[in-house]
Structure 1
Amino acid sequence: MRLQILKIHRDDNVWVALQDIPAGTTVEGITAIRDVAAKHKLTGTFIAKDSPIIMYGVLVGLANEDLPEGELITTKNIRHASGNFAVKEERKTDWDVPDVTQWKDRHFMGYHRTDGRVGTGNYWVIIPLVFCENRNVQMLHKVLVKELGYRKHNPYEEMLQQLLQGKEDPEIIIKPPKRRAFENIDGIKLLSHTLGCGGTKDDARTLCGLLAGYITHPNVAGATVLSLGCQNAQIDMLKEEIEKRVPGFDRTVICLEQQKIGSEKVLMEQALQLTFEGLAKANKQQRQPAPLSKLIIGMECGGSDGFSGISANPAVGRVSDILVALGGSVILSEFPELCGVEQELSDRCINTELATRYTQLMREYASRAEAVGSGFDSNPSAGNIRDGLITDAIKSAGAAKKGGSSPVTDVIDYPGSVQRPGLALLCTPGSDVESTTAEVGAGANIVLFTTGLGTPTGNPVTPVLKLSTNSKLANKMEDIIDIDTGTIINGEESINEAADRILNLVIDTASGLYTARAQVLEQDDFIPWKRGVSL
C-alpha cells in the first residue's frame, strides 16, 4: 500500500505529505488539522513558539507560534533558521561505499583528449571575447550551422506558413535532418554573452577563466574566438587561462581581433576559412571505449518541489556515490542551497584545509548577500514555496542529497575546474542556468538536473539529463523530461533501483546512443555568473 506521509529522519518533527491529506484525516497516528496538499509538511508533534523545526535531521526553521500536532507549516507560522558551523579537527570521511561490481567493467564511447580527459561529445564553439562581437559570431554561427547541415528543422515554420495560407487547423510537420558535412562533429555551438568590457579587471579575468574552461572542455573539439581589441578581456588573458587549465593545450583555437584585421568583411572571411579548416581536422577524431572513471557528472536542480529531497535528489546522490567508488568525479554546486548542511559538508572534507576553504566561501557569499539587503533565506522561489519548500534550509537540506555520502575531495571557487577524482564542491549561485554554466566550465561532461516543476534548460556542449521528482510532471512535460523518479514516491521502485536506471541512461548518453531532451530542443543556455550577488 502506498504511503500517505513520510518521516524522512528519525529526529524530524515534521512529516511530508506524499498525497493530498484532507482535514480530519488520521495517518500514522497524526490527525491533519487542515487540508495538506501533497509535497507540503505537517507537524508530527506539538512545537512551541520559537522552537526548532527539524527535517532531514537538521534545523530548517523556527516556529513563529505554538504549532499543534497535525498543523500545516507555512511561510507565516515558521521562519528560516539553520545551524551554526565551524571547522573541526575530526574528519567524518567514513561512508557506506556501494557495491560497484556490476559497473566495474562497463565503459562508454567517448572522445579521448591528449590531456587524459574524455569527452561525451565533440563540439566546435564560437565565442565573442566581448559583447561587441556578438553580431559577428552570430552571423558566423548561422552560416556554418545552416550550410554544414547542423540547422535543425523548425516545425513551427511550417505551421506559420499554413496559418498564412488560411488553414484553420495547421499541422506541425517534422522533416528529416539534413546530412551533416562533418559526421564526427556533434554540433557548432555559440557562447554569446554580455560581458568582456565595462566591468572590473577581475570581471574580465573571471570571464576569461570561464571561457577557457569551455575551450579546454573534453566535449569541445576546437574554438573560434572573435575579439574587438580594446576591451578588458584580452586574447592574451584568455590564453593565460587556457594554459593554466591545460598546460600545452593542443586543440585548435582560432583567435581573431577585428581592430587589427580591419573590415568586418575581411574578419568574417578569415573566420570562416580558418574555422572550416579546424572543423575538417577535428572531424578525424572518433569515439573510443573509456572507463566510467572518466565521467565528470555535474549535479544540478531547478524548479524544485517538496518531493525533490526524497526522490530525484537522493537517487542522483546514489549515482554520485557509485561514480566516486569507481574513481569518477562529481560536482555539487549552488552554495546558497547548501545553507543548513554546512557542518555536515565541512566534516566530510578530507582535510581541514578544504573544510576551511569551504566555510570561508560560504561565509563570504552569505555576507555579500546580506550587504545588499538580501540573504540565503531569500533563495526559495515562488514556485518552490508553492510546492512545499517553505524555507531555504528545507530546500537546501533536500538539495544537498544530490552529493551522496562520499568524502569531499576538493573545494573549487568559480570559475575553477575539477582537478582530482571524487566529490567536489563548486561555489556558484543557486540560479540553475548560471550554476549549470559553471559546472560545465569546471569540466562536467554530463549534467543530471532534477526538477519538480519543470525547467526548460540545457547547455551548449554538455548533455543535461532532466529528472522529474514526480510522475505528474513527467507526463505533463514529457518533451523536456528524460527520467521519471516519481516512481520512488509511487512505491514502484527503490532509490537504488532508480539510481541504476539513471546510470544506465548516463552511459548511453555519454556514448552518443541517447540524445537528451534538452539537446533535441536545442536548449543551449549559457549565462556566466558576473561575480557579485546572485542567489
Structure 2
Amino acid sequence: MSNQYAQIDPKDNIIVAIQGLKEGMEVSVAGKQLILKEDIKQKHKFSLQDFAVGDEIYMYGVLVGKAVQPIAQGCAITIENVKHASAEYKESKEKYEWTAPDVSNFKGRTFNGFYRKDGKVGTGNYWLVIPLTFCENRNVDVLEGALSEKLGYETKKDFAVDTDALIAQYKAGASSDEIFNTPIITTKEEMSKNRTFPNVDGIKFLKHDGGCGGIRQDSETLCKLLAGYITNPNVAGATVFSLGCQNAQIEMLQGAINAIAPNNDKPVHYLEQQQSSSERSLIEEAVKHTFIGLTEANKLERGPAPLSKLVLGLECGGSDGFSGISANPALGYASDLLVALGGSPVLSEFPELNGVEQEIINRCETEKDSKKFYDLMRAYSAAAVAVGSGFENNPSPGNIKDGLITDAMKSAGAAKKGGTSPVVEVLDYTEQVTKPGLNLLCTPGNDVESTTGLVGSGCNIVVFTTGLGTPTGNPVAPVLKISSNTNLYERMNDIIDINTGTVITGEDTIQTMGEKILDHVIRVASGETASKAVLHGNNDFIPWKRGVSL
C-alpha cells in the first residue's frame, strides 16, 4: 500500500486515495502510468482506465458498480458517474479451503468470566428489568429510579445529589453554615466503588415500543429476542413486567425461554399489573424480587475460562472509505484467530453482504446453510424492492461523503469483518449461536437493531468498527469501538477504544492489528478494562420488527 494511494485487489480498476491527491499528479499503479485529471479527495477513488457507459467497476476484487457516464482515466468515481451493481449468485456452493492463522501467541490464554450452570461463560453479570409491552415502560422507569442510584449503579447523570444528607442535617438542628458545608455530590466513579453488590455489573432496563399492536409475529419475535437476552451468559436473572392484555403474553416469553434453555435455572420474576391490587403493590413486589435476585447474583465471581467461550459479535456503522482497508480486515483477522481457538464470531447485517453472496455461499460448510443464506438474502432483497427501495439505497449520506458510493462497495468492505474462515451455521434473527466457528446472523443494516440482535442470539461481547464515529453500546454486552483512521481516534478518543489507522500509515499490518484487537477483547471480557461504551452508559436497545431496515 502506497502512502498516497492503493489498489486493494489485483482485479480492481479503481484506486483508493490514501491522502488527498491533486490534479496533474503523476500516478504509477498496477504497471500503469497516468495523470490525475482532477483533485481526488481522501478515501475516494479514481479510475485506473477509461470507462464507457455500462462498463463494470471492480473494487476488493468484486463488482461494485457500472459507469453511467464516460469516465476518463485518472478521474474521480462519484455518485454522478457510477451506479450500484453487484454480481449474480447461485444457490449451489463451490469447494472452499481455509488455512487457519498462527495462534501461538494466544495458546493457553484465558479470560476471567462468570460461569453459568449451562456451561456458558459471561463477560459481565447483569440483572434485567423487562417490560413485555410499552404500556409498562413507566413502571420500568419507577423501578430504575428506586434502585440504580441507591445501589451504586449508573445513572443518566454524571453525578448524584444526596439531598437526604441535607435533610438529616436540618432535622438534627444543624446551622446554615453546617448545612452549607455538608458534601452532597457523588460522582459515577465514587458510586461504582460503593456498590451494594460489587459482583453485579449493573441493572439494565430494556424499554421498547413493542409487545402490542402491529402484527402478532412482531410480538412473537420480540419474545424470542427477550428470551435470548434472559438466557445470554452475561445475565443472572430478570424481572418482567406484564400489563396482562397485550399480545406478548407471559406464556409466550416462557415458551421462548424454554425453547432456548429447556432447563433454565435463572430466576425470572413475572409481575402482571392487571392482576395486582394496586400500582404501589406491584412496584413494591418488583423492588423486593429484584433486590433478592441481586443478592444471589452477587454470589458469583469471575474465574478463568478458555477463549472458546467467547461469542464475538462483528458489527460496523458509520463506515468510511478506509473501513474496508483497515478496521474491517483487521477485525476479520481477529475473527479468524478466534475461530482457530475454538471461539464463535458472528457476522451480521445481511444488506451489507450484497455483492459478496457467492463468496459467503461457497464458505458455508453445508448445502443446507448455503441454501438458507441464499433464501434469506433473496427474501430480504425482494422485501426491499416491494416497498420501492433496494439494497442499492443502503449507503447513508455519511458513507457517500467519505467515499462509499455504492452498496456493493460498502458491502465488500463490510464483509471483511468476517475474515476468511468457513461458515459453520446460518441463523435467522433471534436464532441462537450453538456451534463454534464463524456464524452468520440475519439482521438489518441499522447499527443498533443489528447489535441488539447479535446479543439476543448469544454474543457476550461485540466489536464495532467505524470510520465516522458512533457512541453506540448495548445494555448486556460490552461494545468495543474501533476507528478506521487515526484522525477519528484523536477527535473522538472518549468513545473509541482501538485505532486501526496505523494500518493505513503502515505502522501495523492487518495481522499485527488483528492480534491487538483480540488481546483487547480478552482484557475487556475479563473485566480488566472497560469499553468506552460501558463507561459512558450507552445502553442502546432497538428490537427489529422484521420490516425493511437497510
Task: Normalising by structure 1, report the TM-score.
Answer: 0.95
Q: Do the aligned residues in 2 keep the contact of 1:300 with 1:448 (CA within 8 Å)? A: yes
Task: Give 1:425's aligned residue.
Answer: 440
Task: Give 1:307's aligned residue.
Answer: 322
Q: Counterparts of 1:341 and 1:89 in 2: how far apart (Å)?
A: 13
Deviation at 1:156, TM superposition (A): 7.9
Per-residue CA distance 1:234-287 (angstroms, 9 max, x = gap): 001001100111111001111111111231011001101111111101110100
Q: Counterparts of 2:432 and 2:523 in 1: how far apart (Å)?
A: 25
The counterpart of 2:120, out of the listed 117, 122, 146, is 117
Deviation at 1:337, TM superposition (A): 0.4
Matched to 1:531, the amino acid is: R
Q: Counterparts of 2:344 and 2:453 in 1: how far apart (Å)?
A: 15
Deviation at 1:338, TM superposition (A): 0.3
Deviation at 1:30, TM superposition (A): 2.9
Q: Counterparts of 1:533 and 1:472 in 2: how far apart (Å)?
A: 34
Q: Do the aligned residues in 2 keep the contact of 1:128 with 1:226 (CA within 8 Å)? A: yes
The counterpart of 1:149, out of the listed 149, 152, 159, is 152
Q: 1:181 to 1:173 in 2, by over 3 A?
A: closer
The counterpart of 2:48, out of the listed 44, 47, 64, is 44
Per-residue CA distance 1:345-398 (angstroms, 9 max, x = gap): 001000111000001000000101100000000100000000000000000000
Give the 5 Å matches for 1:137-286: 137-152=140-155, 154-155=157-158, 176-178=189-191, 179-286=194-301
Task: Give 2:110's aligned residue.
Answer: 107
- 1:77 partnered with 2:90: no
Q: Counterparts of 1:265 and 1:204 in 2: how far apart (Å)?
A: 27
Deviation at 1:89, TM superposition (A): 4.6
Deviation at 1:419, TM superposition (A): 1.4
Q: Counterparts of 1:508 and 1:374 in 2: how far apart (Å)?
A: 42
Q: 1:335 to 1:204 in 2, by over 3 A?
A: same
Per-residue CA distance 1:309-365 (angstroms, 9 max, x = gap): 000000000000000011100110000000000000001000111000001000000
Task: Give 1:96's aligned residue.
Answer: 99
Matched to 2:525, the amino acid is: A
Q: Counterparts of 1:133 and 1:173 in 2: how far apart (Å)?
A: 30
Q: Do the aligned residues in 1 keep the contact of 2:93 with 2:370 (CA within 8 Å)? A: no
Task: Give 1:297's aligned residue.
Answer: 312
Q: Counterparts of 1:34 and 1:221 in 2: how far apart (Å)?
A: 59
Larger Rg: 2
Q: Counterparts of 1:174 and 1:19 in 2: how far apart (Å)?
A: 43
Q: Counterparts of 2:250 and 2:470 in 1: how far apart (Å)?
A: 35
Deviation at 1:157, TM superposition (A): 8.3
Q: Counterparts of 1:51 and 1:181 in 2: how far apart (Å)?
A: 66
Matched positions, count: 521
Matched to 2:241, the amino acid is: L
Task: Give 1:161's aligned residue.
Answer: none
Deviation at 1:411, TM superposition (A): 0.5
The worse-fitting range, judged by mean Cα deviation, of 513-522 and 147-156 is 147-156
Matched to 2:190, the amino acid is: P
SS at match of 2:94: coil
Deviation at 1:154, TM superposition (A): 3.4
Per-residue CA distance 1:136-183 (angstroms, 9 max, x = gap): 01110221101111135834889xxxxxxxxxxxxx996642200001
Task: Give 2:61's aligned residue.
Answer: 57
Q: Counterparts of 1:157 and 1:201 in 2: how far apart (Å)?
A: 42
The worse-fitting range, judged by mean Cα deviation, of 465-474 and 139-148 is 139-148
- 1:34 partnered with 2:49: no
Matched to 2:549, the amino acid is: S
Q: Do the aligned residues in 2 keep the contact of 1:448 with 1:467 (CA within 8 Å)? A: yes
Matched to 2:87, the amino acid is: G
Q: Do the aligned residues in 2 keep the contact of 1:185 with 1:283 (CA within 8 Å)? A: yes
Deviation at 1:91, TM superposition (A): 3.0
Q: Do the aligned residues in 2 keep the contact of 1:87 with 1:347 (CA within 8 Å)? A: no
Q: Counterparts of 1:269 and 1:470 in 2: how far apart (Å)?
A: 50
Deviation at 1:95, TM superposition (A): 1.1
Deviation at 1:96, TM superposition (A): 2.2
Matched to 1:64, the amino acid is: V
Q: Counterparts of 1:261 and 1:294 in 2: how far apart (Å)?
A: 41
Task: Give 2:482's aligned residue.
Answer: 467
Task: Give 2:332's aligned residue.
Answer: 317
Task: Give 2:356's aligned residue.
Answer: 341
Task: Give 1:167's aligned residue.
Answer: none
The counterpart of 1:378, out of the listed 383, 393, 402, is 393
Q: Counterparts of 1:363 and 1:90 in 2: how far apart (Å)?
A: 19
The counterpart of 1:356, out of the listed 346, 371, 377, is 371
Q: 5+ residue gaps in structure 2?
A: 162-184
Deviation at 1:199, TM superposition (A): 1.7
Give the share of equivalent positions with the same residue, in percent. 56
SS at match of 2:239: strand
Q: Do the aligned residues in 2 keep the contact of 1:91 with 1:351 (CA within 8 Å)? A: no
Q: Counterparts of 2:315 and 2:102 in 1: how far apart (Å)?
A: 25
Per-residue CA distance 1:189-213 (angstroms, 9 max, x = gap): 1100000000211111100000000
Q: 1:75 to 1:361 in 2, by over 3 A?
A: same
Q: Counterparts of 2:517 and 2:125 in 1: how far apart (Å)?
A: 23
Q: Counterparts of 2:484 and 2:186 in 1: how far apart (Å)?
A: 32
Matched to 1:57, the amino acid is: G
Q: 1:243 to 1:367 in 2, by over 3 A?
A: same
Deviation at 1:443, TM superposition (A): 0.8
Q: Counterparts of 1:36 and 1:436 in 2: how far apart (Å)?
A: 34
Q: 1:286 to 1:464 in 2, by over 3 A?
A: same
Q: Do the aligned residues in 2 keep the contact of 1:47 with 1:66 (CA within 8 Å)? A: yes
Give the 5 Å matches for 1:496-535: 496-535=511-550
Per-residue CA distance 1:469-489 (angstroms, 9 max, x = gap): 000000000111000000000
Q: Do the aligned residues in 2 keep the contact of 1:153 with 1:174 (CA within 8 Å)? A: no
Q: Counterparts of 1:199 and 1:494 in 2: how far apart (Å)?
A: 49
Q: 1:489 to 1:231 in 2, by over 3 A?
A: same
Q: Do the aligned residues in 1 keep the contact of 2:93 with 2:361 (CA within 8 Å)? A: no
Q: Counterparts of 2:40 and 2:14 in 1: how far apart (Å)?
A: 12
Matched to 2:138, the amino acid is: R
Q: Counterparts of 1:399 and 1:330 in 2: how far apart (Å)?
A: 15
Q: Do the aligned residues in 2 keep the contact of 1:20 with 1:35 (CA within 8 Å)? A: yes
